[in-house]
Chains A and B, each alone.
Chain A
Amino acid sequence: MALNLTIDKGEFFGFIGPNGAGKSTTIRLLLGLISPTSGNAQILGNDIQKEKQTILQHVGYLPSEAAFYPGMKVKEVLSLSAALRKKNCTKEAQKLCERLELDPSRKVDELSFGNRKKVSIVCALQSTPSLLILDEPTGGLDPLMQREFFEILKEQNQQGATIFLSSHVLSEIQRNCTRAAIIREGSIIACDSVDTLAKTNAKRITVHGHVNLEGLEGVRDRIHANGTIRFLYSGNWNRLLQTLSAGSISDLTISEPDLEEIFLHYYERAGDPV
Chain B
Amino acid sequence: MTIIKHELRQGKVSFLIWTGAIGFLLAVCVFLFPEMKNEMERVNDLFSSMGSFTAAFGMDQVNFGTLIGYYAVECGNVLGLGGAFYAALVAVNTLSKEERERTAEFLFTHPVSRIRVLTEKGLAVLIQITAMNLIICVLSVGSMTVIGEEIPWKELSLLHLAYYLLQIELAGICFGISAFIKKGSAGIGLGIAALLYFLNLIANITETADFLKYITPFAYCEGADIVADGSLDGTRILIGMAVALLGVGGAYLQYNRKDLHG
Residues of A within 8 A of B (CB): 31-35, 52-54, 56-57, 59, 61, 63, 65-71, 80-81, 83-85, 123
Contact = CB atoms under 8 A, between A and B. Distances in A.
Nearest to B107: A84
Contact of A35 (B106, B107, B113, B259): B259
Contact of B102 (A59, A67, A81): A67
Contacts of A68: 103, 106
Contacts of B10: 69-71
A33 B112 contact: no
Interface string B85-121: 0000000000000000111111111111100000000
B113 A67 contact: no
Nearest to B108: A33
Contact of B109 (A31, A35, A54, A70): A31
B260 A33 contact: yes
Nearest to B7: A69
Contacts of B111: 53-54, 56-57, 84-85
- The 8 A-B pairs with the shortest beta carbon distances in the complex, nearest first, are A67-B102, A84-B110, A56-B111, A34-B259, A57-B111, A61-B109, A83-B2, A33-B260
B223 to A, nearest CB: 37
Given A33-B261, A56-B112, A84-B3, 11 more contacts: A31-B108, A34-B259, A53-B113, A56-B111, A59-B109, A67-B101, A68-B103, A69-B101, A70-B10, A71-B10, A84-B107
A80 B105 contact: no
Contacts of A81: 106, 110
A80 B260 CA distance: 20
Interface string B244-262: 0000000000000101111
B108 A32 contact: yes
B42 interface: no
Contacts of B112: 53, 56, 84
Contact of B257 (A35, A71, A123): A35
Contact of A67 (B2, B6, B105, B108): B105
Nearest to A80: B6
Nearest to A67: B102
